[in-house]
Chain A
Amino acid sequence: SQQGEEDPQALSIQEGENATMNCSYKTSINNLQWYRQNSGRGLVHLILIRSNEREKHSGRLRVTLDTSKKSSSLLITASRAEDTASYFCVTVGIQGAQKLVFGQGTRLTINP
């Protein structure tokens, strides 16, 4: 797998607003995955989008994938205080992969 580069590094918004995080990568992929990590906790797998998909929804999450631009975005709608966490994207190459390489992530803070 390869490292995804998340942007921005930190994001602070008011509760109820939407949060958008971006991820860029360099080579062809089989799929891209987003994970969430609450402070001092393990990781939670949020969503996986395959290379032949352009958009995927899961509850308040919307993920888009643009393979021509080698980028993905994660949108969290109607943010809540419990969405405060770090978000990471990871890509799996077309060969498949065992190990995941994490970028620095986006630290999202939802202000009440």
Chain B
Amino acid sequence: GAVVSQHPSWVICKSGTSVKIECRSLDFQATTMFWYRQFPKQSLMLMATSNEGSKATYEQGVEKDKFLINHASLTLSTLTVTSAHPEDSSFYICSASSGLTFYNEQFFGPGTRLTVL
């Protein structure tokens, strides 16, 4: 149980285009989803926290107009990188939490590698 999928697993796009990444909880309802970004050989940096049906909370330094997050259902959150540029190339990972445990255990997706040319 507690499986989280991401789609696509990798994407290459041209500079200036927008890319949408999906994060789905397959066998549980995720009241909260998180989006992380990871540059090569670096740690995961939290970008935003998204609760179903409400606006995402962005971490300091993350542009909300550039990284659009939608959490319209309890099993799906999307991250759209708008007007992508080469510096947005990174590994994007989502995680999901059911919120049913005190420690709010998070289950991670396999990640999406974005390359912007």
Contacts and interface: CB of A to CB of B under 8 A. Distances in A.
B44 interface: yes
Given A40-B113, A41-B111, A98-B32, A103 B105 contact: no
A41 B110 contact: yes
Given A42-B93, A44-B108, A98-B49, A30 B102 contact: yes
Contacts of B106: 45, 100
Interface string B86-117: 00000101010100001111111111010000
Contacts, number: 58
8 contacts: A30-B102, A31-B103, A35-B108, A42-B4, A42-B110, A98-B49, A99-B46, A100-B106
A78 interface: no
A43 B103 contact: no
A44 B44 CA distance: 13
B103 A92 contact: yes
Interface of B: 4, 6, 32, 34, 41-46, 49, 91, 93, 95, 97, 102-111, 113
A69 to B, nearest CB: 22
A102 B45 CA distance: 7
A59 B91 CA distance: 30
Interface of A: 30-31, 33, 35, 40-45, 48, 88, 92, 96-105, 107
Given A30-B102, A33-B103, 9 more contacts: A42-B93, A42-B111, A43-B93, A45-B105, A45-B108, A96-B103, A97-B104, A100-B34, A102-B43
Contacts of B4: 42
A60 to B, nearest CB: 21
B24 to A, nearest CB: 13
